[in-house]
Structure 1
Amino acid sequence: MSKQRTYSIDDLALRLASVSSTPLRDIRYFLSELTGSSIAELFGHVVLSHRQYQQLESMIGRRLRREPVAYILGYTEFWGLRLHVHPEVLIPRPDTEILVETVLGQLHDADCRCLDLGTGSGAITLALASERPEWLFDAVDQSPGAVECARQNAAHLALGSGRLQFHCADWTMLPAEIRANAYDLVVANPPYIDTASEHISEETKRFEPHRALYAPDLGLRDLFSLIDLARSLLRPRGLLYLEHGYDQAAAVRSCFTQMAYSAVTTVQDYAGHDRVTYAQWQGTIDRL
């Protein structure tokens, strides 16, 4: 029988204090994964087998190298869904739930065709699909690893494979089957961090995919490109929702207006920062 020992959870957490602002939370996530106990049960002390402790040591070692907890565990939570993640996909943030929440609060039609550009792990598409079982979705990412990750998440969540289609493509060269559609809704959380930004955590810089983080022109290039592109993809009165940086809303609204969208609106995140801007396309579809 494997020998067991009792460990102080606070002492284990102290080992991460130099690299994490939430060392106790990190340790409790690791222990929950190893023991099968819920986070709420993990206070005070924990009993681990020798093998479990070795696995914990490996997790702590990776965290000390500043690897994100989600990559160490291999999953994260988004909109109440457990999503598989790895270093080829951006870790979904709680702020992106604002985009999902805003869409769901405004669109209640049973019939809706949605296009997700830069889907990554599939977080936005899968969150919307979990709440709108009648909607149809196309989700696009240029990374084969990201597309496979999103497909795995969709299969695991069993949200209806027939209405979820994942495509490996750059949004500047979309496949014909996507260009042939007229979408009611286009959503995107594109790269929007200025390439010169110094306000990025060390773990994000080291481990998350830079192609999903950074954009030229003060972080605005991909946002502006998507506003232009969506005019050829949306049906008349269709809606485009974009996540962006806290200081980019004015520039995004201006671009929407210049490109003949209407009802341009910005929504704040949970911290009160501008985070999502959406608008309605009033024109006809202009096939490129």
Structure 2
Amino acid sequence: MKLAAALNRSRAILAQNAIEDAPLEAELLLRHTLNINRTQLYLDLEHELSPQDEKAFGELVERRLGGEPTAYITRHREFYGLDFYVNPHTLIPRPESELLVETALRLAQDRPSTIADIGTGCGAIAVSLALELPGAKIYAIDISAAALEVAAINCQRHGVAGRVQLLQGDMLEPIAEPVDLIVANLPYVQRAEIAPDNFEPLIALDGGAGGTESIARLCHQARSKLADGGSMLLEIGQGQSESITGLLDSLFPNGA
């Protein structure tokens, strides 16, 4: 079977099974099978797949049909134009979280900053900020030791291991000094809404009964850890802005 036929067939199969972005996901799985980049794939579309590669590719497609995310199958995820290693110990970075990076850069560009990335997971936000803000001091904190191992790999991969301090602990508790900017993508899914067959770590998704338990706890911790004039950026779920805004207004009556 030629690469073009294998690609088209897998795209159709994934689409028929309601896999979002089926064309892209099929491409990523085929590139991973052959260990080639996108340019090589499209230059080689008329080449024949070996029987071994055809079998391996089919097995990857079956794993995707079984619900396993492509990022976990390939161990790669692009975020903010960078390639990150991911595995089932970390949440898969979402494109919408890039807004946290973009907003943080606007806030931090005018002065040297101490930044805390809370719930760092694979380290995507911390690494992205470190590359854009060479003068910043960055903490990347997670309660999961396994997640921090993944973050360490990504810090090393992108050359910022000496500038991002990885800390294990409950949100801001491991930090002794005030921080100028807190960036957090914490669990915000209501416990009852988490699918039982979800492949991502429960600790990275479960926001408690109302979905805001972790975020609320961070807001309380921030009262004693956020520097004067500092800012906090939170990614929250749909329908949670009113309750979180009310909490922040009560904790920071003069603004933050």
TM over 0.5: yes
Aligned to 1:53: 54
Change (3 A) 1:75 1:164: same
- In structure 2, relative to structure 1, the CA distance for the partners of 1:45 and 1:213 (3 Å cut) is farther
Once the two structures are superposed, residues 86-122 of structure 1 have per-residue CA deviations (whole angstroms, 9 ceiling, x without a partner) of 1110000011111111111222134111111111001
Q: Distance in 2 between matches of 1:50 and 1:261?
A: 66
**Is the partner of 1:231 in helix, strand or coil?**
helix
**What is the rounded CA distance, in whole Å, between the counterparts of 2:39 and 2:249 in structure 1?**
47
Alignment-derived partner of residue 184 in structure 1:
180
Corresponding residue for residue 153 of structure 2: 152
Q: Could you say which residue in structure 2 is the equivalent of 1:284?
A: none
Measured in 2, the distance between the counterparts of 1:21 and 1:40 equals: 24
**Residue 209 of structure 1 pairs with residue 205 of structure 2:** no
Q: Is structure 2 residue 23 aligned with structure 1 residue 31? A: no
Does the 8 Å contact 2:140/2:165 carry over to 1? yes
The match for 1:268 is none
- Please identify which structure carries the higher helix content: 2
Helix, strand or coil for the counterpart of 2:121? coil
Secondary structure of the structure 1 residue equivalent to 2:33? helix
Cα distance in 1 between the residues matched to 2:46 and 2:69: 24
Distance 1:151 1:25, change over 3 A: same
Match of 1:219 among 200, 211, 230: 211
Calculate the aligned-residue CA RMSD, in Å: 2.1
Aligned equivalents of 2:233, 2:93: Cα separation in 1: 17
More strand by share: 1
Q: Measure, in 2, the Cα distance between the counterparts of 1:98 and 1:23.
A: 25
Counterpart code for 1:119: T
Residue 37 of structure 1 deviates from its aligned partner by 3.6
Counterpart residue identity of residue 168, structure 1: Q
Structure 2 unmatched runs, 5+: none
- State the shift of 1:249 in Å: 1.0
Match of 1:162 in 2: 162
Contact kept in structure 2, 1:32 and 1:42, CA below 8 Å = no
1:81-230 correspondence to structure 2 within 5 Å: 81-159=82-160, 161-171=161-171, 174-175=173-174, 178=175, 180-197=176-193, 205-230=197-222
1:12 shift after superposition: 2.3
1:237 Cα deviation after fit: 1.0
Identity %: 32
With structure 1 as the length reference, what TM-score do the two structures score? Answer: 0.81
**Is the 8 Å Cα contact of residues 116 and 179 (structure 2) preserved in structure 1?**
yes
Q: Which amino acid aligns with 2:168?
A: C
1:42 offset after TM fit, Å?
A: 3.7
Worse-matched range after superposition: 57-66 or 9-18:
9-18
Distance 1:222 1:37, change over 3 A: closer
Deviation of the 1:138 alpha carbon? 1.0
CA distance in structure 2 between the aligned counterparts of 1:218 and 1:39, rounded to whole angstroms: 46
**Separation in 2, partners of 1:253, 1:155:** 37
Greater Cα offset, 50-59 or 33-42: 33-42
Q: 1:132 offset after TM fit, Å? A: 0.5
Q: Identify the residue that residue 11 of structure 2 maps to in structure 1.
A: 13
Q: Distance in 2 between matches of 1:46 and 1:250?
A: 56
Native 8 Å contact 1:191 1:214 kept in 2: yes
Q: Is the 8 A contact 2:126 2:138 kept in 1?
A: yes
Distance in structure 2 (CA, Å) of the matches to 1:163 and 1:187? 17
1:120 aligns to what SS in structure 2?
coil
| Deviations 1:172-223 (CA, angstroms, capped at 9, x unpaired) | 7x23xx1x211111111111111122xx6x6x94200111111124111111
- Asked if the contact 2:152/2:166 (under 8 Å) is kept, the reply is yes
Deviation (angstroms), 1:230:
0.8
Amino acid across the alignment from 2:131 = S
- How many residues are treated as equivalent by the alignment? 251
